[in-house]
Amino acid sequence: MSSITLADLEYISRETLAQKFSSSSNPSSSNNNGAETTLPSDTAVVDVRDSDHIGGHIRGSTWVPSSTLDFKTPELVRELKGKKVVVFHCALSQQRGPSAALRYLREKERLEGAAGVVSKGEVKEEGVGKGEVGEKIADGEKQRVYVLKGGFTEWQEKYGEDAKLTEGYQKDIWEFGS
């Protein structure tokens, strides 16, 4: 049985996640300066909303509906192995997002062995505490797994209309729902 619990999860604020976006020269979807705003290559955002995925998503995120996590989690662990930061979220990050992050960490522990996962057993918020959960990355850092505080609902309140950070945003879906 895994020693990783909900208390081991770390949360990241929407502002901190938005700061991770950087400019790269990609003319396909550019801002006013001709540069696309993208997540760093060492960061992954996993959106686990199901049918409520409509109305927009964080630019560059990967959609893995929570209903598919039973068979997708081992694949996710392999695909995201080289990422330094992995952020999970759902609509509110109260149930599906934290559950997906926990499932990911437990599967990672199962596939890679307990030596690759360190659990401190304390509630952590980004930038607070020293707890790290994850595997060692090539340069000696551990993979950090976060849950987006407030989920996409809080993200879209601040960044929904910012096309550099949010794709496919439909304001009419969100304006009366939050």
Query: Do 87 and 152 form a contact (C-beta atoms < 8 A)?
Result: no
Encoding tokens for residue 13? 């604020």
Sign of the alpha-carbon dihedral angle for 99, 162, 174, 150: positive
Concerning whether 43 is annotated as a catalytic residue, the answer is no
Encoding tokens for residue 71? 């068979």
Helices (H) and strands (E) in the chain, counts: 5, 10
Which among 90, 100, 105, 147 is annotated as catalytic?
Answer: 90
Question: Alpha-carbon distance 178 to 174, whole Å?
Answer: 6
Residues with catalytic roles: 90
